[in-house]
Amino acid sequence: MRDGGQSDVVYQVPAEPAHFVDREREQARARQLVVERRPAEDGGTRPLCLLLRGRAGTGKTELAFRLARALHQQHPDGVLYVDLDEVRRDGAVEVADILGELLRALGAEWIAPVFRERARQYWSLTHGKRLLLVIDNARHGTEVEPLLPASGDSLVIVTSHGPLYDLQAGAATEFPLAPLDPADALELLERVTKDARLAVDPEETRRLLDLCSGLPAALHIAGNWLRRHQEPPLARLLDRLGTELRERGIPVVEQVWDAAYDSLGPAAARLYRLLGHFPGPSFTLAAADVLLGQDLDTTEDALAELRAAGLLDGRGTDGRERLPELQRAHARRRAETYGDQGEREEALRRLVRWYLRQAQRADLTAAGPRLRTAAEAPPVPGTRDVLFEQPGDARGEAAARAYHWLEAERHALFGCVRLAHTVGTAGDTDWGLLEAAALCEPLWTHFLNHPHYGDHIDAFRRGVAAAQQAGDLPLLVRMRCQLARPLWEQGEFEEAERQLNQAWSTVQGAFGTSPKERKLAASTREFLGMLGSARGNWADAALEFEASGAVHQEIDNAYGVTLQRYRLGEALAHLGELERAAELLERARHEFAADGRTRLTGRAEFALGGVYARLGRGEEAGARYRAALEATRAVRGVRDEARVLDALAELAASLGEEREAEEHRTAARELWERLGLAGAGSDR
């Protein structure tokens, strides 16, 4: 603050920091608004107001200072700064005190004793001036309105953790600030540290960036930590730093989050504590409603309150909300201090069972009736089911919606498997093991369309362990079969074979002659055949598929018969029996289509296209490939789509249509890269 009575222009913005990245778009937009501003024809006195809002630690204040430095020449009558959190007591701000500070900064020799008179003084001193005022850490529009200069030529930059709903509509231009994206976060970290270890160890660097959640405040702390510790390996340092940040938080940011939490009502505070233990990085309104366990209106109000308090990430898409890792750690600390362990355990149990039910329903909608060994999960009292099938759906729309839900919720589903398995392994509850294994069955349907190998293998391993500990032999056989496929697709053939041999040994030693047990035995033989296919042992594979199909025929399982017909057709095609393969695949294609199984229809179309191409029937091959492409896009099967595009490229090249071939190759390459399998090609 300058002393009262001085005539020099006040300037209350600190020197520029050594390191600043990103926010170019926001800066350009702010400059444009200032340049394009036109005084109101009636001599209006409302200043231009910019609202920078985002979670604590996203760099709102520093961006406000940066804008003030860039725009101060257009506002020669002074640059003022007030931090409302510095004078906030029990969540409230005494605006009269802030007005007193501003009046002193503007050179007032006498300060009126009461708010109303101070406001008049402020209007008089600011009228007609070209001032720039930064108002930091506003929580309510009612804190901002009395501080606005009475000048249409002035500029006010406000920072807030959430929207200021009570600020008049249109009174401010909003600039939502998300955390830094990984590239910008890395640039900032490199500038702060100038540490060669970041380039030498990219995996640990990515881990560090994930830990910092894109928050400049966290990146500066991490950078300073690395500068102080030059010798130890990065991995060891990160373990210590991660523990420090998760247990204690970022000092300045932590104080903001604590204050924001203290301002919450009971439902919002409870939801925030529970979200710290949510088994995934993002969640929907429906999942939050299950977790809170009250009613939808209460959940919506609680989420709105968390957004307004700046305790949710503003980057949520597709109807999802995010709680990044550092924020989750803060929520868990609040839960440890203020929460109830029994309440938390009940909420998580309710959530796991709700996800199990929805995943089973999505599986049924997406893949249709098929072999399932886990019991159907009943409705969870007080919750709503996800609506997969809607009136007026065209063919395949419900299945596509269900596949999309499984992909969108995959992190929560994987997290629920880990949570349920951990709880069940502890052995002091009546739930966990069966839920963990049962969740893996719908994750199998998800895997077939969207393979995330690390996550799926981890989940299926837990499924095996949970089923084994629970003593559920049919479920154990199913889990071993599911685990085998991603293992062999990652080249771990010996372990995949070991899992299948153990599954087959259980079938032979413990299974009877009931239709369900025979169906599971036939499925195990199918997996043995698929392993043979993956190894190129097509003759052995064909024998297994024929044997499996015969069992399905005996127990009158039409779907199983069709599936083995398709498998056998693929095997015969590789054995060179193309005419018989074409006959089997045509039948399987028609039967899958009649049964509404879009994904398998597409796979049969693809296999049939390959047979026709080898038979020299290029036009028919192209028609089948295009039908396969349409089907796989309907269910959003990225891997299958890439395989079909590779095949279309190969077919077009064989027909001399090089331009079309290159278009297909480019599209396929982009999909393989998205899967992290660049250059995999159609043999995947």
Q: What is the DSSP string of 249-287?
A: --HHHHHHHHHHHHTS-HHHHHHHHHHTT-SSSEEEHHH
Determine the distance from the C-alpha atom of residue 189 to the mean position of all C-alpha atoms in its chain, rounded to a whole number.
Answer: 24
Percentages of the chain per state (helix, strand, coil), in multiples of 5: 65, 5, 30
CATH superfamily assigned to domain 24-176: P-loop containing nucleotide triphosphate hydrolases (3.40.50.300)
pLDDT tens sequence across 646-679? 999 999 899 889 999 999 999 988 888 877 665 4
Q: Are the C-beta atoms of 481 and 372 separated by less than 8 Å? A: no
Highest mean pLDDT among 90-99, 320-329, 470-479, 673-682: 470-479
pLDDT score, position 511: 85
pLDDT score, position 434: 94
Closest by CA position to 561, among listed 527, 530, 522: 522
Q: Are the C-beta atoms of 147 and 99 separated by less than 8 Å? A: yes
pLDDT score, position 63: 92
Closest by CA position to 123, among listed 20, 47, 41, 9: 47
Q: Is 675 helix (H, G, I), strand (E, B) or coil?
A: coil
Instruction: Return the residue matching tokens 């089923």.
Output: 467
What is the SS3 string spanning 5-38? CCCCCCECCCCCCCCCCCCHHHHHHHHHHHHHCC
Determine the distance from the C-alpha atom of residue 310 to the mean position of all C-alpha atoms in its chain, rounded to a whole number.
Answer: 19
Looking at residues 2-8, what average pLDDT do you find?
48
pTM here?
A: 0.71
d(CA 502, CA 440): 19
d(CA 182, CA 1): 38
Pairing, β 132-138 against β 155-160: parallel
pLDDT tens sequence across 566-582? 999 999 999 999 999 99
Q: Tell me the backbone φ, ψ of residue 115, rounded to 5 degrees.
A: -55, -50
d(CA 623, CA 637): 19
Domain positions in the chain are 24-176, 182-248, 254-339, 346-471
pLDDT tens sequence across 39-85? 544 456 689 999 998 887 888 889 999 999 999 999 999 999 998 88
pLDDT score, position 681: 45
Q: Class of the 254-339 domain?
A: mainly alpha
Q: Is 76 helix (H, G, I), strand (E, B) or coil?
A: coil
What six digits make up the tokens of 278?
A: 């949510």
Per cent of the chain over pLDDT 90 is 49
Stronger pLDDT, 170 or 674, i.e. the higher one:
674
Answer whether residue 683 shows pLDDT above 80: no
Looking at residues 361-369, what average pLDDT do you find?
91
pLDDT tens sequence across 499-538? 999 999 999 988 888 988 999 999 999 999 999 999 999 9
Q: Is 320 helix (H, G, I), strand (E, B) or coil?
A: strand
**Dmax over Cα atoms in the chain, in whole Å?**
101
Q: How does residue 396 score in pLDDT terms, banded at 50, 70 and 90?
A: confident
pLDDT tens sequence across 232-288? 677 777 777 667 666 666 665 676 678 778 888 999 999 999 999 999 888 999 999
pLDDT score, position 247: 66
What six digits make up the tokens of 614?
A: 């080898």
254-339 has the same fold as 24-176? no
Q: Are the C-beta atoms of 200 and 190 separated by less than 8 Å? A: no
Stronger pLDDT, 162 or 502, i.e. the higher one:
502
Instruction: Return the residue matching tokens 């969207």.
Output: 450
Q: Are the C-beta atoms of 606 and 642 separated by less than 8 Å? A: no
Answer whether residue 27 shows pLDDT above 60: yes
d(CA 88, CA 84): 6
d(CA 328, CA 609): 50
Q: Is 144 helix (H, G, I), strand (E, B) or coil?
A: helix
Determine the distance from the C-alpha atom of residue 212 to the mean position of all C-alpha atoms in its chain, rounded to a whole number.
Answer: 16
d(CA 283, CA 271): 12
